[in-house]
Amino acid sequence: MNPKELRQYIERKKESDYLIVDVRQPAEYVGGHIPGAKLIPVKDLVASLSILPPDKDLIFYCHSGGRSAAAATLAVEGEASIKNIYDLEGGIMAWEGRTVPNYPRVQVFDKARNLSELLLVAMDLEKGALRFYSHIKDRLASGPLSETFGQLSIEERAHAKAVYQCWKDTENDPPAYEVVLENLKGEILEGGEDLNGTLRRTAATEGNICLGLIELALHVENSAFDLYRTMAEQTDSKEARQVFLSIAQAEKKHMRNLIDVIDQCNERGKTPERAS
Q: Which one is catalytic: 62, 166, 210, 265?
A: 62
| Three state DSSP letters for the chain | CCHHHHHHHHHHCCHHHEEEEECCCHHHHHHCCCCCCEECCHHHHHHCHHHCCCCCEEEEECCCCHHHHHHHHHHHHCCCCCCCEEECCCHHHHHCCCCCCCCCCCCCCCCCCCHHHHHHHHHHHHHHHHHHHHHHHHHCCCCCCHHHHHHHHHHHHHHHHHHHHHHHHHCCCCCCHHHHHHHCCCCECCCCCEHHHHHHHHHCCCCCHHHHHHHHHHHHHHHHHHHHHHHHHHCCCHHHHHHHHHHHHHHHHHHHHHHHCHHHCCCCCCCCCCCC
210: annotated active-site residue: no
Tell me which residues are annotated as active site.
Answer: 62
